[in-house]
Amino acid sequence: MVVQSPGDMDYQWEIVDSENGLGLLEREWSALNARCGPQGFFTRYEVIRANWDRHRADSGSKLHIVVFRDRGGTLVMGVPMVRVREPLGTHKLVWLDSKTPLYDDVLLDPDVEIEVAARHFKSVLSTSLLNRVLKIGFVLEGSNLHRLLNATGLPTKLLTTAPSLNISEFESWEHYLSRISTNRRQRIRNFVRRIEKAGAKAPRLITNAAERRDVMNELFDRKRRWAGMRSDLMDWVAPEETEAWFQLISNIQDERNRSHLFLLESDTERIASLLFFERDGTLFLSKLAHSEAWEQFSPGWLIVHEAIKFGIEQRMKTVDFMIGNGAWKERIADRTNKIFGCRAGPVSWRFGTLK
């Protein structure tokens, strides 16, 4: 069904609610994503498809991707959601996410004014009286989705932060070390000497496909064990589908969208591993785990610095430590963005004021 947006004859929207329809979107979705910056890593067609694989078996769930096209039929915005039918016949609109703490976002043409996008998004939400609530998990401050929610007047709630580090000014690893505090510089060097004396080798990037699968499997095993000992954590890491999602996305790479896996090991065991993504000069540090037996050497802290070193050597611009404000992140980062959640009902989108 194609619907003309009220008050603006330049845009039409339709809802893609079938896997066949999603497949037909691939070419134009990818073409628009190619015009997006670093955050476009999380709105790639391959990611959206993998996200739907995680939702499709949920009771009452149906694909609900709203696509907007201009007068010439060109895709200008894609809003990936899932419509969940509730017992009383109402609908819950849930963002089509990976069911893990990663950035949620909207696919948006950089040339479309956010106020225009907000007006159309609001009209879509208001179309059905059965839409009871919209729920979005993790919205990065300043992202397209954050700007869209603000312009639409939908409420957001501060959840946590996402620290990051600007590395664009550093010409080399030694240059970086010369700019941090003497205490931290000395700590890095001391921990490197101590862990090497204990038998650790220099960290290395895993490029062999079979070894990558094996190392990632151990990484997620360690995270599952760690989460199992904590009562204050979400259970997102427990399902096998979580690891399968990361295994899949890590294997889908191209010139702009890459996945990297660092391993710190000794002759007898794997000490720590770090999975991170790359797009357009930004490294997204995603998953980190280490052996408790080596904890006294701070292997996680060291392997994160190895990723920073890698970024500097590859002339990257930013290291994004992603969602969560751990103490080690705060010590390394030089900036912090907020992470918001959104839960909005009909009053918000029917009677709220566009900003």
Q: Give me the percent of the chain exceeding a pLDDT of 90.
A: 85
Distance CA 117, CA 108 (A): 8
pLDDT at 115 over 90: yes
Residue 51 has pLDDT above 70, yes or no: yes
Which residues lie across from 258 on neighbouring strands?
278
Whether the per-residue pLDDT at 157 is higher than 70: the answer is yes
What would the DSSP string read from start to end of 195-231? HHHTTPPPPEE---HHHHHHHHHHHHHHHHHHHHT-S
pLDDT at 40 over 50: yes
The Cα–Cα gap between 244 and 50 comes to 10
Contact 66, 13 (CB under 8 A): yes
% of the chain with per-residue pLDDT over 70: 94
Question: In the structure encoding, which two tokens stand for residue 308, read together?
Answer: 């920073």
Confidence of residue 227 (pLDDT cuts 50, 70, 90): confident
99: Cβ contacts below 8 Å, ≥ 6 apart: 51, 54, 55, 236, 239, 241, 242, 245
Specify the DSSP element, H or E, that contains 32. helix 26-33
Q: Do the two domains 2-160+339-351 and 168-316 of this chain adopt the same fold?
A: yes
DSSP characters for 285-349? EEEEEE-GGGGGG-HHHHHHHHHHHHHHHTT--EEE--S---HHHHHH-SEEEEEEEEEE-HHHH
- More confident: 315 or 237: 315
DSSP string, 110-125: TTS-HHHHHHHHHHHH
| Residues 6 or more apart in contact with residue 151 via CB below 8 angstroms | 114, 115, 117, 118, 354, 355
- Give the pLDDT score at 347: 78
Q: What is the mean pLDDT of residues 159-171?
A: 97
Instruction: Let me know: does 294 contact 195? Beta carbons within 8 Å.
Output: yes
Structure confidence at residue 230 as a pLDDT band (50, 70, 90): low
3-class secondary-structure state, position 95: strand
**Would you say 35 and 110 are in contact if contact means Cβ atoms under 8 Å apart?**
yes
- Does 8 score more than 60 pLDDT? no
The pLDDT value given to residue 180: 94
Mean pLDDT is lowest, of 160-169, 225-234, 256-265, 305-314, for 225-234
Q: What is the mean pLDDT of the chain?
A: 92
- pLDDT for the residue 232: 56
**pLDDT average, residue stretch 253-275:** 96
CA-nearest of 53, 68, 65, 41 to 140 is: 41
Domain residues of the chain, as ranges? 2-160+339-351, 168-316
CATH 3.40.50.150 fits 2-160+339-351, yes or no: no
**Nearest CA to 79 among 17, 19, 7, 27?**
17
Burial 262-287 (b: 16+ CB within 10 A, else e): bbbbeeeebbbbbbbbbbebbbbbbb
Q: Which CATH class is domain 168-316?
A: alpha beta
Q: Determine the angle formed by the axes of helices 26-33 and 45-55, rounding to 10 degrees.
A: 120
Rounded distance, CA 353 to CA 295, Å?
Answer: 52
| Spatial CB neighbours of 82, under 8 Å, sequence gap ≥ 6 | 52, 55, 58, 61, 62, 63, 64, 93, 94, 95, 96
Q: State pTM to two decimals.
A: 0.93
Amino acid at 355: K
- For the stretch 10-21, pLDDT in tens is 789 999 999 999
pLDDT band at 1; cut points 50, 70, 90: very low
Is residue 226 pLDDT above 90, yes or no? no
pLDDT in tens, 296-350: 999 999 999 999 999 999 999 999 999 998 888 989 999 999 999 999 998 777 6
Tens digit of pLDDT for each residue in 315-325? 999 999 999 98
